Amino acid sequence: MPDTLLFIHGTGVRKSGFDQTMALLRKGFEGKLPIEIEGVCWGPDLGVNVDDEAIKQVLPLTAAKADEIGPEEIGMKAALWAELLRDPLLELRMASMRPPAQADQNAAMPGVQTPDIAMTNMVADVAQKVSDPLPGEVRAQDIRQAALWLLKEPLLASAAAAAGDPLDTDLVNAVARAIVAKALVGYRNEVGTGPSALYVADERDELVRKIVGLFPGTKGLGSWLWDGVKSMAEGVATYYGRDRRTGLMNGVSPGVGDILLYERRGDDILAAIEKKIVGLAEQKKRVVVLGHSLGGIMMVDLLSRARQAGRLPVEKLITVGSQAPVLFKFDALGTMRLKQALPAGAPYRPWLNIFDRNDFLSFCSSRAFPGVTDGIEDFEIASNVPFPEAHSAYFRQSAFYEKITQSWPK
């Protein structure tokens, strides 16, 4: 009888996704291992299935009136600041893409500062002038440090050159937002902490106006940069806006719901997987289990817990893109507790754990469990694709199949 690779899928996967991965596995191992490939498609029957009507019942009624909501109201400002808190230099990057407004000013004239030098001097003045108290509970020290940080960024000079006038309204406001965003990023260490400017938009905007007021009077109508920034923010706002909430909820509810369902009521899923394993063993087949994402968590839980009938007949556990190690550190696994002695034989071994550092949902296992020094191997795949695509890219990587082939039980 040939060996069997039993695939256990992760969260949010339904029949089409399961079938696609099974096809990839069969193609990937073709000519490499004389094995059968089977799986447990638990998602459609045992996972979460929520229809549109159920989602509508838990959404605010305004979600049904999205066509009446203007760009500002659907979160254009929220979207802009979400991006600025990821990259405080965002607007200055956009400004720098414009050719210098007055190329003939690249050569400094006697007694006249070029826009880049003038802007650098003004930001340095802001760092000296700013003082407490400031709106939004932000400390002057943090604004000062943010301004000094900005002085070291080449984008400040290139954005000023693009504007052609250091007192351009768009430019000064973008610089002020960059300073405030950099200061606020430093407070985002723990959810719920930090100054009120992180949580009250009016106070954040007042802080920006305060910083703008530390510059000399601005000039211009402010449209060459702001129009582009506004268009970008309106586009991003489609991901934050209330008019997309129903679609977003429908898109993520199976994934999030599967995790919550497993954590509270996962016994039916584990029972189905256990039944499949036992059935294969009764056919005298050696079983290697491959669990992806939540499927890996399930298998670590299932194979590591005691059974009256003895250890499940599995030759090897393979997890890919698994959160089991970090859940153990959170004391959130179903079988093993963080501050208790590990049960005999737990965690299950031999265990091959495959991860990709671009997959933010994958973690290393070999160092995670106290006192366990052998039997767990971590193996890195370099997909070179970004998250979240990296979380599902394993099944398309030749190194994935080569590693499993090489480490197949003798």
String of DSSP letters for 34-62: -EEEEEE--HHHHS----HHHHHTTS-GG
CA 104 to chain centre: 45
**3-state helix vs strand vs coil in the chain, percent to 5:** 50, 10, 40
Encode pLDDT of 350-400 as tens digits. Answer: 999 999 999 988 999 999 999 888 999 999 999 988 887 888 899 989 999
User: What values do phi and psi take at 254, rounded to 5?
Assistant: -60, -40
- Residue 276's pLDDT band (boundaries 50, 70, 90)? very high
Q: What is the Cα–Cα distance from 144 to 183, expressed in whole angstroms?
A: 9
pLDDT tens string 109-163: 555 688 999 999 999 999 999 999 999 999 999 999 999 999 999 999 999 998 8
pLDDT tens digits for range 61-79: 654 444 443 444 446 677 7
Six-digit token pair at 309? 């009938």
Q: Where are the domains of the chain?
A: 3-50+250-406, 75-240
Q: Decide if pLDDT at 9 tops 60.
A: yes
Q: Which tens digit of pLDDT belongs to each residue from 164-182?
A: 888 888 899 999 999 999 9
The type of residue at 359 is D
**pLDDT, position 101:** 58
**Cα–Cα distance between 315 and 294 in angstroms, integer?**
20
Please tell me the predicted confidence (pLDDT) of residue 44.
78
Contact 320, 290 (CB under 8 A): yes
> Per CATH, the architecture of 3-50+250-406 is what?
3-Layer(aba) Sandwich (3.40)
pTM: 0.65
